[in-house]
Chain A
Amino acid sequence: MQGYMYPNEFELQWSLLIVLYPYITGLVAGAFILASLERVFNVKEVQPTYRLALLTALAFMLVATLPLLAHLGHPERSYEIFMTPNRKSAMAMFGFVYAWYLMVVLLVEIWFDYRKDMVQWYRESAGLKRWFYYALTLGATDTSADALKFDDKWGRWITIIGIPSAFLLHGYVGFIFGSIKANPWWSSVLMPVVFLFSAIVSGIALVLVLYMLTTMFRWRKIDMVCLEKLAQFLFYALIVDFSLESLDFIHRLYEAEESIGILSQMIESRLFISLIVLQVLMGTIIPLVMLGLTSSALHKGGFLRVAPELRQLIYLTCAVMIQIGIFSIRWNVVIGGQLFSKSLRGLTVYKVELLGIEGLAVTIGLLCLPLVILWVLVKILPPWTDQETPTTSQATA
């Protein structure tokens, strides 16, 4: 500790688990928005990632509430948010926004998109598997041209509803922080927008990584046109995100309100690694330069002509670095906002514990859990476009 903290400020209220919450919801929103590129905006190049993006969004969505629940003082009372929500509270809407997004948007869209395949798997399978897929079709086994047209039409409409919903989901998470006027580090009208664009960046980067890894491990050839498009969109989203972050930063610096002194101290000392090094340098500037030089974002074919294999490696590296950068953004917002005293006279420290409910082990577990869920989802609902039945021998690839 350095300087003066109010006595009640010694303990950080929101720990690593709450860093996870905006990180995970951001991935959900970002992955969905990527999926909507293909469906609504007809960016056909990214079609190979469409279903994978939807399933990724679902897998992470299912885990999104766990860090919150684990963090509550009385998780057994959490249902009260649904039963008696305080309509003036930003947080009270969480349950409804979450339920809307999960139930109305994600599940329905996935159902419409997969219905034809589910019917087919139901017809092809036998025994328990057959009934499982029948249950998934909800009894709607009509695969006539009219029925499929209906699916397509409604799937499209759900995506159109889904885009503002995804904006709502993550913009709303930003609002939870941005509307706290007591905290000068959080209180910013830009917060929901910054959250949103960083979500898009993280979602695209995650799907890019997952697409590359799953394709490689299935011994398939990576669709370079798709990858190029992903890298291009990643670059554009990152530019917007970085511009917004910079605007926020410059605005604070220029206004130089009474909190500027302590916030500057915090950035120079406590957040130097996570903000300057990880978020700005590693997570933003280096990937921007690498993508700008090698992808088609600024110049068709890229300024630097590199072999496709090297280009794949560069994109993968960029996407991983961006993920680390986005996690750092969440860390800097959540933890950074609690490292200084509201008396603006002191700084405290946060030490991550290894074990315990709010520790590093649980956090890593919660980060791995969506990947396990995704693995299961992919087994049940194969999203691959390059091969309808992934169970055949890999050697044929």
Chain B
Amino acid sequence: MTEADDQAISNQDAPHNRDPDRREFLNEMLAVCGAAAPVFFGIVRVPVQTDEYDASDHHYGMGIDVNKCIGCGRCVQACTIENDVPEEPHFTNTWVERYIIKTDGEVMVDSPDAGMHGFPRTGDEGAILKTFFVPKLCNHCEEAPCVQVCPVGATFTTEDGVVLVDEEYCIGCRYCIQACPYGARYLHPEKHVAGKCTFCYHRLVEGLVPACVEVCPTQARIFGAVEGRPTPLAQFMRFNTIQVLKPHLNTQPKVFYANLDGEVR
């Protein structure tokens, strides 16, 4: 038995008296692994400086695991900081809804400040059957009604499947806002053009994931290519029963939900 082994045994005997050097080492290792894990599991893509971004290589979508969302609102905060989202309330690219289904069947939904600062306690927990959080955002529909109705073509779908607005071109008629079944658009109060989630397109072209996905502490949001590659999203869609919002409207959304309750609209 070596000295080190002895040290180990003695440390096992005295768990509160660990070698500080070793603890530091383990902490460092943990930090490195923690940082590397998202990369390893493909959740975060490390930017590849050498490759120029080719939109035709991708077709993006997002997965949302309702069971994993804890309603912390970090995604909404990150989106607001990352993108030019107006600071006033009632303009948002993404939001979190809280559903409270009571034992008598009554459904209560709220999203104070788009869920950005979390949710207040309900008060009458006794009567609650179940409660859950649902993150929402633009569904980047394959058959996007907003793209269809834009009179000047300022709203368009990129080759990689992201619905964007050309701010230099939008005339601010708001027809797209009316046509969106999901309430995902607004008129930017300063720019006077339509505003919406871009999947953080400026990050995508750098090989990064959207801000909301990056900050989600529970990995409730999963981002990647919808098809054709073994991406995290493809894996998520393979191993979960997937639903989309308002499928009867045939907009073919590309935000895919797992464990979605029938009450969510």
Enumerate chain A interface residues (CB-CB to B < 8 A): 3-11, 13-14, 68, 71-75, 77-78, 80-81, 84-86, 88-92, 94, 176, 180-183, 337-338, 341-345
Any chain A CB within 8 A of the CB of B114? Answer: yes
Contacts of A180 in B (CB 8 A): 145, 149, 178-179
As a 0/1 sequence over residues 109 to 129 of chain B, the CB contacts with chain A under 8 angstroms (1 = contact) are 111001000000000000000
A90 to B178, CA, bound (A): 13
A176 to B152, CA, bound (A): 15
Are B249's CB and A181's CB within 8 A?
A: yes
Contacts of B145 in A (CB 8 A): 180-182
Are B149's CB and A74's CB within 8 A?
A: no
Are B92's CB and A8's CB within 8 A?
A: yes
Contacts of A85 in B (CB 8 A): 151-153
Q: Chain A residue with minimal CB distance to B171? A: A77
Are A73's CB and B150's CB within 8 A?
A: no
Any chain A CB within 8 A of the CB of B201? Answer: no
Are B148's CB and A80's CB within 8 A?
A: no
A344 to B264, CA, bound (A): 10
Are A182's CB and B110's CB within 8 A?
A: no
What are 19 contact pairs spanning A and B, CB under 8 A?
A: A5-B183, A6-B95, A6-B136, A7-B91, A7-B111, A7-B183, A13-B174, A13-B177, A13-B178, A73-B171, A73-B172, A73-B191, A81-B152, A84-B152, A84-B153, A85-B151, A91-B175, A182-B179, A182-B249
Contacts of B180 in A (CB 8 A): 182
**16 more A-B contacts (CB under 8 A) besides A6-B183, A89-B175, A180-B149?**
A3-B109, A4-B97, A4-B109, A8-B186, A11-B186, A11-B187, A13-B187, A73-B171, A73-B174, A74-B192, A77-B171, A89-B153, A90-B149, A180-B179, A182-B249, A342-B183
Contact of B173 among A72, A84, A342 (CB under 8 A): A72
Contacts of B148 in A (CB 8 A): 88-89
Contacts of A176 in B (CB 8 A): 175
Any chain A CB within 8 A of the CB of B90? Answer: yes
Rounded to whole Å, the gap between the CB of B71 and the closest CB of chain A is 15
Contact of B185 among A8, A71, A74 (CB under 8 A): A8
Rounded to whole Å, the gap between the CB of B76 and the closest CB of chain A is 9
Are B249's CB and A91's CB within 8 A?
A: no
Contacts of B186 in A (CB 8 A): 8, 11
Contacts of B114 in A (CB 8 A): 7
A91 to B191, CA, bound (A): 22
Are A181's CB and B265's CB within 8 A?
A: no
A204 to B184, CA, bound (A): 42
Rounded to whole Å, the gap between the CB of A186 and the closest CB of chain B is 8
Are B153's CB and A86's CB within 8 A?
A: yes
Contacts of B149 in A (CB 8 A): 88-91, 180
Any chain A CB within 8 A of the CB of B53? Answer: no
Contact of A182 among B92, B170, B171, B181 (CB under 8 A): B181
Are A80's CB and B171's CB within 8 A?
A: yes
As a 0/1 sequence over residues 171 to 215 of chain B, the CB contacts with chain A under 8 angstroms (1 = contact) are 111110111111111110001110000000000000000000000
Any chain A CB within 8 A of the CB of B40? Answer: no
Contacts of B109 in A (CB 8 A): 3-4, 343, 345
Contacts of B92 in A (CB 8 A): 7-8
Contacts of A6 in B (CB 8 A): 95, 111, 136, 182-183
Any chain A CB within 8 A of the CB of B89? Answer: yes
Q: Chain A residue with minimal CB distance to B175? A: A91
Contacts of A8 in B (CB 8 A): 90-92, 177, 183-186
A288 to B54, CA, bound (A): 66
9 closest Cβ contacts across the A-B interface? Answer: A73-B172, A6-B183, A73-B192, A182-B181, A92-B151, A10-B90, A4-B109, A91-B151, A86-B153
Rounded to whole Å, the gap between the CB of A326 and the closest CB of chain B is 22
Which residues of chain B from 239 to 265 have a CB within 8 Å of any chain A CB? 249, 265
Q: Chain A residue with minimal CB distance to B156? A: A86
